[in-house]
Amino acid sequence: MSDPRRGVSTILIVSLCFNFFLAGIVVLGTLRAIQRAHAAIPVRQLLMPQAVKLLLPGDEQAKLDGIIAAHKDALNRYRDAAVETRAVAFREYESKDFDAAKFAADLEAIRAADGALEEEAIKSMGETAAKLTPEERRTVADHLKHELWAAHWKEGRPTGQ
């Protein structure tokens, strides 16, 4: 006849292993949630005034508010135009009477809208860099290097994309 204590011991060992497994899942889930809560700024936006402002000490952040305010309306307008041109191109793309020449013109409008948005963004980045002290620029550059390195290893693609 089998020993009843042996069966209880087996159940306790299995339960203990299952508890360790569940604890691991909880820890990994928590770490993942923390990582997502502090999502990195996309690489293409790292030099935008809003992103740079977050890297400055609290008492120095206000000096970028003027640049952010000066470019906000234009950036929003150009971003809306870029979205709208894509919507127009998509309507032509899915149209039953598709016209390749019209679609090519729509694609050119997308390129122009993206160019205007990029130009405004670059203006704001240039003004931001001019307003920072050399030490602040070094801090931003160090952060940028870290973000590019992290993006390279996390996403598995070359840095800067």
Give 61's contacts (C-beta < 8 A, 6+ positions apart). Answer: 53, 54
Residue 35 pLDDT:
67
Closest CA to 133 of 73, 83, 63: 63
pTM exceeding 0.85: no
Residue 6 pLDDT:
80
The pLDDT-based confidence of 112 (bands split at 50, 70, 90) is: very high
* pLDDT at residue 157 greater than cutoff 60: no
Q: What is the pLDDT of residues 59-85, one digit of tens each?
A: 888 889 999 999 999 999 999 999 999
Residue 161 pLDDT:
45
Distance separating alpha carbons of residues 133 and 161, to the nearest angstrom: 27
Are 75 and 123 spatial neighbours (Cβ–Cβ below 8 Å)?
no
Please compute the mean of the pLDDT values over residues 103-117 and round it to a whole number.
95
Are 81 and 110 spatial neighbours (Cβ–Cβ below 8 Å)?
no
